[in-house]
Amino acid sequence: MKQHPHIPIALLTLVVSLSSTSNVGAQSMLEPSDVANLPLVSAPALSPDGRHVAYVQKVPRSSEEDKGPDYSMLWVVSSDGGQPVAFTSRRGTATRPRWSPDGTHLAFLDRRPYDDEDAKTQVFVIPLGGGEARRVSDAEENVVEAEWTADGEAILFTSRDPKSKERKDAEKKGVDWEVADHNYRHIGLYRVGVDGGEAERVGPTDVSLRQIAVSAAGGTVAALAADTPKVDDSYMFQRLVSIDLGSGELETVWDMPGKASGLRFSHDGEWLACRAGIAARDPQSGSIFVIPAAGGYARNLTPDYEGTVEWLDFDAEGRIVFVATHGTATHLRRIDPAGGDIETLADSGPVYTSARLSGAGDRVVVAASTPAHPTEIMVRATTQAEWTRLTHSYSELEAFALGQQKVIEWEARDGLRIEGILVYPLDYQQGRAYPLVVGVHGGPESAVRNGWHTGHQYLSQLLAHRGALFLMPNYRGSSGRGVGYLLANHGDPAGAEFQDVLDGIEHLIALGLVDRDRVGIMGGSYGGYFSAWAATKHSDRFRVAVVNYGVTNLFSDWADGDIPWEHRLVHWGWFPVDRPLIAMDRSPVSWVRGSTTPTLIMHGKTDPRVPPSQSLELYRGLRLNESLPVEMVLFPREGHGYRESAHRLEAGRRALAWLVQYLELETPTRDNPTAR
């Protein structure tokens, strides 16, 4: 490895939060098999009276079972604590629990019978008091989302238009070619009685609807509508609409300028609130807007807010309760839709990105993590400080000691303050320089929060057990610091945003924490782009790289992926064909010649977001360098990320093996993750 001149930056280490090691006496070596396929709890829903919490637990398949994604189960637990009760089978696919308005029943989505590969996801209803779940929908295509009507007598759901009989007959005869951007099958709105029966199509048939919200006053549904079902249009070219359930008439409420999400009605049905971007170039739907439900001016309640709103809802008094990312922390806050000061309900504790309120808004439930454990279901009174943990899903982790996790900050070369999370080796000794692995988040508009980060993607505690530091930077363009910070990397891919990472490494070197000659990097998606950029353009700075489904060629990614307009409007500010020189200059494949960085490349074979050809281009380019260790692994049936438990485990094992070998880390004592 070459030595590099020191970049003078201020030594501003500020410890914002610290997780002390737990179970210090434990000696077991943490392995990929211990963390890659942990059960995951998510999607908590609080009953209207606040007494019960429904949630989903994903259950990974065992190595003896057939291939496929995780199973998922529906559970219910008292919000006062106690033993959770399973409401569906372990081998199910239950998702999206929704309480009936009176709290006596739960609706959820599931695909049954489980052994039928042709079965579609449908709406099921089960009573809280027990009994069998009943299927209430019979959609020809998968149900996407479902919500109760205000009177509890029906359920509204969305599903893609089925193929016509004529089209099915033609396809049987080989007349099955596809013409680009033609013959769309839209995502439509349907209503079905709670006792089942034939579903009724509601509203127009020439738009695709997402993220429905039902007015508690009855009679109206709000949704985000786009002219096509394409992912890019659902991101960048949608509008807020209302649909009259009686007439089916659609009316545009707001032509929003960019991204939007999280629609909610006030309890009196007079107001709509949503999260939205302030402009087309805004990477996040991270500001709160309120609009009269009957139509009118959309007003931004958080124009100067130095955070990113992740979730919102109205309480019974008409105030908006919201969750926001602030740096690496989560804040729970409240604001009156008429405007005024923002009230802080919680600004410390576990991290989470969404919540659910009771009917009165006096209780809130979340799926939250801490540096000591993955997500668990937690509940609290809205105005009280203490969280009550309702689930304990990860007792197997209690046998392992954990490295310290700190929030740190440094100054970029242009003076901008950057935050990150640093995980220390298990037996850290002050004054010693350690190997470092940088774990880069994707998006780029995502963010790393101060919670649990160990799995097949982030190997933080696995590396802590092997004597390495793990840094997760929130480079410019990340969420949690307001719109200005989100836009700070606009039009400059792998420019100042990547320099923020280099400056963070130099900061740790200057503090004496890091061995300059033993630095590695890993990441997925945009984090994979950073890792590929490190392995090529900045090969002299990085000893090893792990690239998961990363962008490597801006030209072909724009042409082959499913979000070309988001790239143009949000990320780059230009089309590669309009700025070919800068597009190729910022593509890792342009810098493969002369790379000396051993690189592991992994990708899902059916990825529509970043096509696997991106990895193939990098692989073949790096292979031009004789004797350079390069390996590419493709995972069948996987899209943008790894759903199957065997694939997650293998991805974690291979990544760890690569880092252990080329950073010369401590040898593990169990399994054998170095076997390839």
Q: What is the pLDDT of residues 392-420, one digit of tens each?
A: 999 889 889 999 999 999 999 999 999 99
Structurally, the chain folds into a number of domains equal to 3
User: Are residues 90 and 149 located together in one domain of the fold?
Assistant: no
CA-based max dimension of the chain: 74
Domain annotation covers residue 336: no
Q: Which residue(s) pair with 145 in the sheet?
A: 158
User: Are residues 65 and 207 located together in one domain of the fold?
Assistant: no
Q: Helix, strand, or coil here: 493?
A: coil
**Residue that finishes a domain, picked among 254, 273, 292:** 273
DSSP structural state of residue 346: E
Contact 618, 591 (CB under 8 A): no
User: Are residues 413 and 513 located together in one domain of the fold?
Assistant: yes
Domain annotation covers residue 581: yes
* Cα separation, 127 vs 148, whole angstroms: 14
User: Are residues 495 and 443 located together in one domain of the fold?
Assistant: yes
* Cα separation, 488 vs 475, whole angstroms: 10
User: Are residues 416 and 531 located together in one domain of the fold?
Assistant: yes
Tokens 């939060």: give the residue: 17
User: Are residues 216 and 240 located together in one domain of the fold?
Assistant: yes
* Cα separation, 526 vs 489, whole angstroms: 13
User: Are residues 482 and 518 located together in one domain of the fold?
Assistant: yes
Per the structure, the complete domain to which residue 625 belongs is given by 18-32+397-663
**Residue that finishes a domain, picked among 223, 251, 273:** 273
User: Are residues 74 and 158 located together in one domain of the fold?
Assistant: no
User: Are residues 578 and 478 located together in one domain of the fold?
Assistant: yes
Tokens 């029906």: give the residue: 154
User: Are residues 128 and 141 located together in one domain of the fold?
Assistant: no
User: Are residues 501 and 530 located together in one domain of the fold?
Assistant: yes
Domain annotation covers residue 334: no
Contact 308, 324 (CB under 8 A): yes
User: Are residues 128 and 143 located together in one domain of the fold?
Assistant: no
Domain annotation covers residue 194: yes
Return the CATH number at 217: 2.120.10.30
* Cα separation, 626 vs 18, whole angstroms: 45
Which pTM value belongs to this model? 0.92
- Count of other CB atoms within 10 angstroms of residue 268: 12
Q: How many residues appear in the chain? A: 676
Return the CATH number at 479: 3.40.50.1820
* Cα separation, 436 vs 470, whole angstroms: 6
Contact 343, 350 (CB under 8 A): no
Domain annotation covers residue 63: yes
Q: Which portions of the chain are predicted below pLDDT 50? A: 1-26, 670-676
**Residue that finishes a domain, picked among 233, 248, 273:** 273
Domain annotation covers residue 300: no
Q: According to the 3-state scheme, what is the secondary structure of 356-413?
A: EECCCCCEEEEEEEECCEEEEEEEEECCCCCCEECCCCCHHHHHCCCCCEEEEEEECC
